[in-house]
Copies of this chain bind each other. A is one copy, B any other.
Amino acid sequence: MGRMTSQNKLVFFFGGGIAEGDASMKDLLGGKGANLAEMTRIGIPVPAGFTICTEVCNEFFKSGGKHPENLQWRVEAALGQVEKAMEAKFGDTKKPLLLSVRSGARASMPGMMDTILNIGLNDQTIEGVIKKSGDPRFAYDCYRRFVQMYANVVLGVSGDHFENLIQQKKRSLDVELDTELAAEDWEELVGAFKAKVREITGKDFPDDPHQQLWGAIDAVFNSWMKPRAVTYRRLNDIPDDWGTAVNVQAMVFGNMGDDSATGVAFTRNPATGERHFYGEFLVNAQGEDVVAGIRTPQQVTLEGKRRIGSHLPSMEEIMPKLYNKMVKIYQKLEQHYRDMQDIEFTIQKGHLWILQTRSGKRTAKAALKIAVDMVMEGVISKEEAVQRVDARSLDQLLHPTLDPEAQQRAHVLATGLPASPGAGSGQVVFDADTAEAWNNEGKDVILVRDETCPEDIHGMHAAKAILTARGGMTSHAAVVARGMGRPCVCGCHDLEIDFAAQQMTVGGVTLAKGDWITLDGASGQVMEGQVATVDSTLSGDFAAFMQWTDEIRTMKIRTNADTPEDAVVARKFGAEGIGLCRTEHMFFEEDRIVAMREMILAENEQDRRQALAKILPIQRRDFEGIFRAMKGFPVTIRLLDPPLHEFIPHDLKGQQDVALSLGTPVSEVKRRVEELRESNPMLGHRGCRLGVTYPEIYEMQVRAIMEAACHLIKREHFTIVPEIMIPLVAHAKEMRVLKELCVATCEQVMAEQGVVVQFMVGTMIELPRAALIADQLAQEVDFFSFGTNDLTQTTLGISRDDSGSFLKEYVNKRLLEKDPFVSIDQEGVGQLVMMGVKKGRHVRANLKVGICGEHGGDPSSILFFQQAGLDYVSCSPYRVPVARLAAAQAALASAK
């Protein structure tokens, strides 16, 4: 194809059931041109036209604005075909053909390129339009619009001039609205417009239709190199040499009287996915009238009319013949494109024209239903079905969402980050204890905090939703809320909390404790009062669909779960194991935090061991519960990670409580808190550094894990392979020392219990250095798990807790494509992941490699992880279905 084709054939006609192009010729004809040709080819009544191919555009720029030799006669020839098909003549005064000229590149560049409508109008042809439409006002309105648009786009005259003239006209007539101007007024204005063009450009406005056409064609070519288009391409990696095609097409009008109409139809219901034809239209109207929503549209089908209880007649009733034609067309289009179609149509004087068809936008629910139905109907394969549903949208199906109607009326106070999906209403409280207390009284509460910390977990659990003023998409609040399936809005900078007064100010409104608000975790909106929500319901389709994703994907999906309850939820959503069980959350519950604090305040190893001995049986029970919930599936347990100061309160009151409960002087508690204070806790004394300095802590945890495994194997007879994971490793030697500690403890417990348990010891790869020396680490461990949250923080040097103040601006200014804590930074962090996998597997071919950061639930990250060759991803329980689908899509994409 390519060059040869273009030299032979610069112009591609379509119309009257015949087309010289087809859908496969997108590169040459652009998306729009190929689509018009394809529709024509399968017999859809499309207004006739022709496409000047993209290579003409390239030639145009190469030659400094000249057309290829043969272009002119080829355009003339094609124009002749259009005239024949439309039974009209370009420049004719009786049956004048009007044309539109539109760009159409290989990739969609919405709003970047120029369009000119109504080409062919002049003082002679206008007569034909008046005659045909029987409506001089309509005709002159078309005419003046054409002059305005053409002068602006082709001749470079600012639109302000014309607006001024219209204003003058209205002032002189003492009217306010365009609609109050009559045909004569518009006619006069056309003259005034043309005079203004002459005044500014020094030339007459071109009255010759052919001159108009060529001017429009060149204008579209030129718009390819306009700065906004160039910038758009640069930002979207679209090569300049793709060029644009130019589509010249006959105009049709839906506003030529009561036998004309315009509308939009869907081949299936885009909200529910149900298999019925659905559409709206307006009689004697233009497409923009349907969009504008000033007139209430009528339903296309009788069924649709009944459903919404409309009193307006349906198309099925008032235009039954055309309706029947529409039905045949929609069936043909859906069958041909094998997907639900969104169809734009216009009826001009009783003649039905299809202007555009494309895959219709749909809700998550509809996407799922349509995909499943189409498989059942034998239209598409399971693989195609899996690719038809946006993985991101699945979330909508799992959480309550705002009632769309109520949402429209809601008063939005502020918008924060959409940190955890779902919507929830409740009464505002400012601390976790109150949240829990009020929840126990049966109240719905929203927990509002500057930011949350592990001590708030019981309050988050008690809340319907969580709102914070600080913190990003992977802040504590966001991570925990997603894990619990609670809606959460984070980093809402417009929010100011006055804890002393127990009130908050947001969006200029001050709300007190007990006032109602509603959060939409999917959009980040904070709304005043109670906004109605709709519960999620999972259909049988969902189960079938998810089953297909499991058949297709090659990566395993695990979950991040810290409790037996979370583990059970995740299993229900299809998790195939736990990729990250954080042990620190376990320490915050009431029965153990005292012992934990005792341990931290201990002055020496012996006292520490005494305190740890109290925690041991509790941790063991936790692990038993988790192993039981995950029966038969692997469980990766991360040993203690956060710095110890997280476990001691930093306020005086809390410190006094601790002192009291431990029988220690407050001064001692304060001293220890001060001693543990860190400038950058993220880079501080945490992770395996705790294991190195306080080996007895890790020893206790490993013992708890292994005792739990031994007990279950002995008493409940199932297989458990605990995967013990060491966090924050940076050096091979620290890994070696801690592995030895793990192995020695495991062997001791097995000897004591008389049970042999298979176990694995692995490391998180969450520091750049760990990825850089992954070959050394692989010699020590059985598995890697990429902790991409911390790896992102350290690689980019961005604290997720502090990123709110600048990251949003970075994304707004397009310095960053996406929040790197939401979607993995493939160029930077991704390089380290690739390097880690490669170096690790080079040393140990059967190394098990997974990822347990928040990115494990992000579809585009999952695609990257598939390409990086990971064995599994792990995400929060409510993200598991998203991850399953995304992994299936990634497998299909990688297989290509």
Contacts and interface: CB of A to CB of B under 8 A. Distances in A.
B693 A809 contact: yes
Among the interface residues A682, A773, A797, A798, which one has the most CB atoms of the partner chain B within 10 A?
A797
A594 to B, nearest CB: 24
A470 to B, nearest CB: 9
A809 B681 CA distance: 18
Contact of A679 (B730, B772, B802): B802
A805 B683 CA distance: 12
Contacts of A815: 692, 731, 733-734, 737
Interface stretch (A187-195, A252-260, A826-834): A826-834
B810 A692 contact: yes
Interface in A769-811: 769, 772-773, 790, 793-799, 801-802, 805-806, 809-810
B828 A772 contact: yes
A787 to B, nearest CB: 11
Contacts of A790: 797
A27 interface: no
B814 A733 contact: yes
A801 B767 contact: no
A813 interface: yes
A810 B733 CA distance: 10
A733 B237 CA distance: 14
A844 interface: no
A685 B815 CA distance: 15
Given A678-B799, A689-B806, A683 B793 contact: yes
Contacts of A730: 796-798, 828
A768 interface: yes
A406 interface: no
Contacts of A687: 797
Given A681-B680, A795-B794, A799-B680, A692 B733 contact: no
A52 interface: no
Contact of A794 (B693, B768, B772, B806): B768
Contact of A683 (B734, B768, B798, B828): B798
A825 interface: yes
Contacts of A810: 689, 692, 734
B799 A772 contact: no
A105 interface: no
A13 B794 CA distance: 61
A546 to B, nearest CB: 36
A728 interface: yes
A812 B693 CA distance: 11
A520 to B, nearest CB: 26
A684 interface: yes
Contacts of A828: 730, 768-769, 772-773
A809 B692 contact: yes
A225 interface: no
A843 interface: no
Contacts of A678: 799, 801-802
A767 B793 contact: no
A679 B679 contact: no
Contacts of A728: 797
B767 A797 contact: yes
B768 A832 contact: yes
B693 A802 contact: no
Nearest to A683: B799
Nearest to A831: B772
Contact of A768 (B733, B768, B827): B768
Given A767-B797, A773-B828, A797-B790, A802 B692 contact: no
A795 B767 contact: yes
A794 B814 CA distance: 25
A816 interface: yes
A796 B768 CA distance: 7
Interface string A286-315: 000000000000000000000000000000
A685 B802 contact: yes
Nearest to A766: B797
B772 A692 contact: no
Among the interface residues A681, A767, A795, A802, which one has the most CB atoms of the partner chain B within 10 A?
A802
A10 B711 CA distance: 62
A802 B769 contact: no
Interface in A715-729: 728
B680 A683 contact: yes
A733 B817 CA distance: 10
Among the interface residues A683, A733, A793, A794, which one has the most CB atoms of the partner chain B within 10 A?
A683
Among the interface residues A680, A685, A815, which one has the most CB atoms of the partner chain B within 10 A?
A680
Interface string A728-768: 10110110010000000000000000000000000000111
A737 B682 contact: no
A786 to B, nearest CB: 14
B793 A769 contact: no
Given A827-B773, A828-B730, A679 B799 contact: yes
A737 B809 CA distance: 13
Nearest to A828: B769
Contacts of A814: 733
Contact of A802 (B684, B773, B793): B684
Interface in A826-855: 827-829, 831-832
Interface string A617-637: 000000000000000000000
Nearest to A736: B815
Given A692-B810, A795-B767, A828-B768, A731 B680 contact: no
Contacts of A806: 685, 689, 692-693
Given A767-B797, A809-B693, A772 B827 contact: yes
B680 A682 contact: yes
B832 A772 contact: yes
Nearest to A731: B815
A769 B816 CA distance: 13
A794 B682 CA distance: 10
A689 B810 CA distance: 9
A681 B798 CA distance: 9
12 contacts: A680-B680, A680-B802, A682-B797, A683-B798, A684-B799, A689-B810, A733-B814, A733-B816, A767-B797, A768-B795, A768-B828, A772-B832
Given A687-B797, A689-B810, A769-B825, 4 more contacts: A730-B798, A768-B794, A769-B795, A772-B827
Q: Which 10 A-B pairs have the closest CB atoms?
A: A683-B799, A680-B799, A769-B828, A768-B768, A684-B802, A679-B801, A767-B797, A678-B802, A680-B682, A680-B680
